[in-house]
Amino acid sequence: MPRKITIHQIAKEVGLNASTVSLALRGDPKVREKTRDRILEAAKRMNYEPNNLARSLSNGRTRIIGVMLSDMSRFYEESLEAVFTLGEAAGFTISVRFCSWDQAREKAGLHSFVSNRIDGIIWGPTDYNTAEIAEMDALLHKFEVPTVMYGLPDDTQSLHCYQIGLDMQKSIQVGLAHLKSYGHTDIALLAATEVQGMFGRMYRRRMAMFRDAFIAEGLHLDDRRIFEVGDDNCGGLDLALKLSQMERSQWPTAIFAADDLLARELVKSFKTLGVRVPEEISVIGYDVFPWAMGGQLCSVNLNTKEIGEKAIQMLLKCINSEHPQQFDQRVEVLPQIRLGTTCGRPRSR
Amino acid sequence: MPRKITIHQIAKEVGLNASTVSLALRGDPKVREKTRDRILEAAKRMNYEPNNLARSLSNGRTRIIGVMLSDMSRFYEESLEAVFTLGEAAGFTISVRFCSWDQAREKAGLHSFVSNRIDGIIWGPTDYNTAEIAEMDALLHKFEVPTVMYGLPDDTQSLHCYQIGLDMQKSIQVGLAHLKSYGHTDIALLAATEVQGMFGRMYRRRMAMFRDAFIAEGLHLDDRRIFEVGDDNCGGLDLALKLSQMERSQWPTAIFAADDLLARELVKSFKTLGVRVPEEISVIGYDVFPWAMGGQLCSVNLNTKEIGEKAIQMLLKCINSEHPQQFDQRVEVLPQIRLGTTCGRPRSR
DNA sequence: CTGAAAGCGCTAACAT
DNA sequence: ATGTTAGCGCTTTCAG
């Protein structure tokens, strides 16, 4: 038996024409059931595997959706799962590229998507380098590859692609506003700075966003209220210890932890040290780990699952439609407070 | 300008034949530099993007390497990065599929690889379901898709694929042996059991491996020496607290933490509680986070980077060679102890 | 219901 | 150095 089976060989085997085989393999009702069974049997017996290159070249679509991500952060996990589930249900294969926060690699990956005539792209762009994004956007548009970008700030109206808006700074403000609603004004920031990884840039950007968010909410973020810990430390424990050696009157009344794991550790450490949360100090987390502390943690929920769902739904609509223009070009996903037990009114002084 | 540019249109534009354009685009020295420049200029101006479907259908290779992974665990991060770097340097695009620990999805993904005539596959199989693996292995072999599987135990000689052997149980034994070499025999296990995630199966398997490893090293693992914590707890802190309320004579002399983050937290918590590590108790970590504690942590290093490097190197050799059979079919990656400051001789009783 | 023929965009001999 | 021709494997009219 030759190495790679084609429909012609199957056709010869069963004494029919290749085009009939082609129809049968795709379950076209034009082929009589009996003939189809014969064909399918032969195909299986001969270990036939369709050649998507030929198929796609011929009919003009690949039934593949490409997803471009920067890294394997858990931030993407939930949304990617949604993309898989809904995408596969609609008959698409999901192909992922990672760029490791490298713009050259990102560009190459997107090019590979269009070269391989992917049917649509979901893109969580690396960085808000407007010019670069605009350039790729123009290219993708020129090739008429439906594209959904997500995690975009709101100054991107000029882009052609569809967008899932997620305003990170506003999401931080949501957390701050929540604290303010309890009466907190002296809020500290606990942030991890992963030095070793490739996320340095992201962390720096996030830090800048925190500063801006404080300002936007009319809050003062004193440098001495910023606790930066390396990712190889136990930031929560360190901070709890540090505070326990300070006069309580010197404490902030609330702590905004830059991620849920830090927040979790902080709360647990406070408990260990006999500090009551939220009676003596409030803690709010951020992003990524909805399951941290079994729902006890008060935290800003970025709704990543919803992001994934909206992205794939938008894309599928777009791919299946003749007139994609009729859809909203941008959908906002709103962060919300995930209520827990770790925030309360500030202690009276 | 028509929507999708082909080499024929470029050819017409510059008054040459399509095959010349084809050669020029690939930088073939047969075409004169001046002509090539003209062609490239036109291609860029017309926004030409090569059609890999046609290209691959014609020349029989896609220059794409497929990677099949179960999830976005950080376990894969380092090895995947190595695959990217070396793979791209060799001119390949790396396309990733995730199966979320779902065998149907895994199978579909591998089929999509062969349908799309990927040049080679790197596969970190979900589970050691021998029959399923053997079936896919046979299929991939029949289609002559060079495949490297990794993370395989050593009872898989019958497979056709190339293999990066990583014996997880032995890696645990390496850690245990290290503790034994200091004189530890009363060793406790600290393990997280992520209930919410999709990793339940993996955790259970890992737990079984720990038990087997203890037995293989001639150690007794009492049930009361197993501390299982949910992933939404702070396991390290909890355990440190628990122990601090016990008579020291009841303590184990060493703790094997099932991952580095737990170990890190444990060590930090001990420090907080005034317990000296390793003078009063030794701690060893496992896997995944080489940077945890800035190298202070003594831990079992799974060498995931090396796994990725070996996998892609094997695959490239195989793809580029006429006679792949001449290479070793299986390479073992050996876990090692990453020395730190958290292990020492047991306290005298 | 099945067969014949053209073509998707590109490559690879072979000619010129 | 450039042009001609014949596919790669499949889909898709269009005939029968």
* Residue A241 pLDDT > 70: yes
How far is A187 from A300, CA to CA, in rounded Å?
A: 15
Residues 137-156 of A with CB under 8 A from B: 139, 142-144
B11-57 pLDDT, tens digit per residue, is 988 888 888 999 999 888 888 888 888 999 999 999 899 999 999 99
Backbone phi and psi for residue A198, each to the nearest 5 degrees, phi listed first: -100, 20
CATH of B63-166+303-334, one of 3.40.50.2300, 3.40.50.1980, 3.40.50.620, 3.20.20.140: 3.40.50.2300
pLDDT at A200: 60
Class of domain B168-301: alpha beta
Mutate which of A116, A242, A291 to disrupt the B interface (most B C-beta within 10 Å)? A116
Q: What is the pLDDT of residue B28?
A: 83
> So what's the pLDDT on residue A275?
92
Return the residue matching tokens 């199989």: B125
Q: Is residue A188 predicted with pLDDT exceeding 50? A: yes
B193 touches strand D (CB under 7 A): no
User: Does A94 contact chain B (CB < 8 Å)?
Assistant: yes
Residue B73 vs residue A186, higher pLDDT = A186
> For the residues B171-188, what does the mean pLDDT come to?
96
What are the strands of the beta sheet with B299-301, ordered from one edge? B226-230, B187-193, B254-257, B282-286, B299-301, B336-338
Most confident among A106-115, B21-30, B34-43, B329-338 (mean pLDDT): A106-115
Q: Which of residues 278-307 of A touch B (CB under 8 A)?
A: 291-294
Helix (H) or strand (E) holding B12: helix B7-14
CATH superfamily of A7-50: lambda repressor-like DNA-binding domains (1.10.260.40)
pLDDT at B257 over 50: yes
CA of A17 to C1' of D15 (A): 14
For A248-286, how does the pLDDT look when each residue is reduced to its tens digit (9 = 90+)? 999 999 999 988 878 888 898 888 788 999 999 999 998
Contacts of A100 in chain B (CB under 8 A): 81, 84
> Is pLDDT at A76 greater than 50 in this prediction?
yes
- Let me know: does A122 contact A68? Beta carbons within 8 Å: yes
- Residues facing B187 on adjacent strands: B254
Instruction: Answer whether residue A125 shows pLDDT above 80.
Output: no
CA to C1' distance (Å), from A27 to D16: 22
**Minimum-distance residue to C11 (CA–C1'):** B58
- What's chain B's average pLDDT? 87
The pLDDT score that the predictor gives to residue A2 is: 43
Cα–Cα distance measured from residue B335 to residue B1, given in angstroms and rounded to the nearest whole number: 59
Chain D bases closer than 7 angstroms to a protein Cβ? 1-5, 7-13
A164 touches strand C (CB under 7 A): no
Q: What sign does the dihedral A68-A69-A74-A76 (CA atoms) show?
A: negative
**A236-240, A291-295, A316-320: range with lowest mean pLDDT:** A291-295
Which whole-number Å values give the CA distances from B82 to A320, B98, B125, B231, B308, in the listed order?
37, 18, 18, 29, 5
**Count of CB contacts below 8 A, A vs B?**
147
> Region B306-334: what's the mean pLDDT?
86
What is the average per-residue pLDDT within A288-301? Answer: 77
Judged by CB atoms within 8 Å, which residues 49-68 of A form the interface with B? 49-54, 56-57, 62, 64
Domain boundaries, chain B: 7-50, 63-166+303-334, 168-301
| Bridge partner list, B188 | B255
Cα separation, B142 vs A17, whole angstroms: 25
Question: What one-letter code names the amino acid at A80?
Answer: L
- Check residue B142 and give its pLDDT: 86
Q: What letter does residue B346 receive in the DSSP assignment?
A: P
Q: Are A183 and A251 in contact (CB under 8 A)?
A: no
C-alpha radius of gyration, chain B, whole number: 26
Q: Report CA(B160)–C1'(D4) in Å, whole number.
A: 44
A63-166+303-334 and A168-301 in the same fold: yes
Alpha-carbon distance B233 to B27, whole Å? 59
Q: From the CA of A47, how many Å to the nearest CA of chain B?
A: 8
Q: CA-to-C1' distance for B29 and D4, Å? A: 20
Residues A53, B56: Cα–Cα separation, whole Å: 7
Q: Confidence band (pLDDT; 50, 70, 90) for B200?
A: low
Q: Which of A72, A117, A121 to mutate to test the interface with B (most CBs of B within 10 A)?
A: A72
Residue that wins the pLDDT comparison between B200 and B15: B15
Instruction: Supply the pLDDT for residue B1.
Output: 37
Is pLDDT at A198 greater than 60 in this prediction? no
Q: Compute the nearest-CA separation of A101 from chain B (Å).
A: 11
Q: With an 8 Å Cβ cutoff, is B111 touching chain A? A: yes
Q: Is the CB of B318 under 7 A from strand D?
A: no
- Angle B200-B202-B206 from CA coordinates, rounded to 5°: 120
User: Is the pTM for the entire model greater than 0.75?
Assistant: yes
Of the partner residues B139, B234, B293, the one whose CB lies closest to the CB of residue A264: B234
Residue type for B304, please? T
B311/A314 Cα distance (integer angstroms)? 37
Q: Which residue has the higher pLDDT, B142 or A197?
A: B142
Interval B228-248: pLDDT, tens: 877 656 678 788 888 988 898
Residue B2: the pLDDT is 42
**Within a 13 Å sphere around the CA of B87, how many CA atoms are in the beta-carbon half?**
30
Angle at B147 between CA A9 and CA B135, to 5 degrees: 65
Q: What percent of chain B is modeled with pLDDT above 90?
A: 46
Distance CA A179, CA B2 (A): 56
Q: Which residue has the higher pLDDT, A177 or A166?
A: A177
Across the range A53-74, mean pLDDT stands at 92
Asked if the Cβ of residue A32 lies within 7 A of any atom of strand D, the reply is: no
Percent of chain B with pLDDT over 70: 91
Chain A neighbors of B265, CB-CB under 8 A: 234, 237, 265
Residues B208-215: what's their mean pLDDT? 92
What is the gyration radius of the CA atoms in chain A, in angstroms?
26
CB contact under 8 A, B53 and A53: yes
